[in-house]
Amino acid sequence: MTAQIIDGNALSKQLRTEVAARAQALKAKGVTPGLAVVLVGDNPASQVYVRNKVKACEDSGLHSVLEKYEADMTEADLLARVEALNNDPSIHGILVQLPLPAHIDAQKVIEAISPAKDVDGFHIASAGALMTGMPGFWPCTPYGCMKMLESIGYDLKGKHAVVIGRSNIVGKPMALMLLQKNATVTICHSGTADLKAMTLQADVIVAAVGKRNVLTADMVKPGAVVLDVGMNRNDEGKLCGDVDFDGVKDVASHITPVPGGVGPMTITMLLVNTLEAAERAPN
């Protein structure tokens, strides 16, 4: 079996076209969806991420503002900026790029963002909404994974999904989303005794660890769907995921590549969340 590739670039393009059309419809009513991206410090990876986010907004007709601050910005000043953005009617989504410098309490900053503008979905209110099945913003990376499953018409009811990783931004929300769609879910982590015994039972595997070759072909049931969230570098310095793609593609029914899989979907879902924030906002 050679797995069908779930192409994150192609799916993103389709979803971004839909976002652009909905943004246009909102503009016709006098509302331009707006995202504020806040970057503190000069982390090179963060600079690339924020540039990509701002560009993606502009390409889809969303208004975006990039606020850059020196690494020695105080926590109080950052909290004041977040509060100003909370009160700015032209801004519907606020994203504070992580990681923040060590002297700033990142959780405190996230909790300062209005839940109505929490388009990253990291606020405790967003996490609570996801857990209880209430409306709220879903974290972009696992949300993108759900869209990828939807794009292949995959019905999770009765299926066993194994999520490898339990971070607050990927693994845990991923598990809750799969559960909400009626999968039976197992969450694995660094303390899992026999990862292979778990993954071999899975109809769907989401790898979100940050280590190369965490999932190899011998760990995958034939016909399983494999989503690779990981972002690592191989020996040649090239971007790769957590999954041994070349081996697993011969066992799985569907697989996401790295690059060109979950990565582009993450930014796309940020646009979707920002658009929805603007659609929900009182005019």
Which residues are identified as catalytic?
53, 97, 120
CB contact burial 243-252 (16+ within 10 A = b; e otherwise): bbbebbbebb
Shortest distance (Å) from residue 167 CB to ligand NAP: 3
195-203: list long-range contacts, CB under 8 Å, 24+ apart. 195/164, 195/219, 198/162, 199/162, 199/164, 201/160, 201/162, 202/160, 202/161, 202/162, 203/159, 203/160, 203/161
User: Cα–Cα distance between 203 and 227 in angstroms, integer?
Assistant: 11
170 touching ligand NAP, by CB under 6 A: yes
Shortest distance (Å) from residue 20 CB to ligand NAP: 21
Specify the residue, 27 or 221, whose C-beta has the smaller distance to ligand NAP.
221
- Return the residues of window 18-37 that contact ligand NAP according to CB under 6 A: none
User: Cα–Cα distance between 65 and 46 in angstroms, integer?
Assistant: 16
x-marked contacts with ligand NAP along 208-237 as a string, rule CB under 6 A:
xxxx--x--------------xxxx-----
Residues paired with 161 in a beta bridge: 185, 204
The residue type of 235 is: D
174 touching ligand NAP, by CB under 6 A: no
Burial of 157 per CB tally in 10 Å (0-12, 13-18, 19+): exposed
User: Cα–Cα distance between 202 and 252 in angstroms, integer?
Assistant: 11
In the list 167, 184, 201, 253, the residue contacting ligand NAP (rule: CB under 6 A) is 167
In the list 192, 201, 213, 253, the residue contacting ligand NAP (rule: CB under 6 A) is 192
- Piece of the chain touching ligand NAP by CB under 6 A; list 42-50, 88-96, 125-133, 162-170: 162-170
In the list 31, 37, 113, 169, the residue contacting ligand NAP (rule: CB under 6 A) is 169
What lies within 8 Å, CB to CB, of 145 at 6+ separation is 174, 177, 206, 227, 229, 262, 265
Specify the residue, 116 or 208, whose C-beta has the smaller distance to ligand NAP.
208
In the list 34, 165, 173, 257, the residue contacting ligand NAP (rule: CB under 6 A) is 165
- Piece of the chain touching ligand NAP by CB under 6 A; list 50-58, 91-99, 130-138, 188-196: 188-196
Residues paired with 164 in a beta bridge: 188, 207
Size of the site for ligand NAP (CB under 6 A): 26
User: Cα–Cα distance between 75 and 71 in angstroms, integer?
Assistant: 11
In the list 136, 171, 173, 257, the residue contacting ligand NAP (rule: CB under 6 A) is 171
In the list 12, 141, 199, 274, the residue contacting ligand NAP (rule: CB under 6 A) is 141
- Selection from 215, 205, 182 nearest residue 254 by Cα: 205
Shortest distance (Å) from residue 94 CB to ligand NAP: 18
**Residues found near ligand NAP in the complex (CB under 6 A):** 141, 164-167, 169-171, 188-192, 195, 208-211, 214, 229-232, 262-263, 266
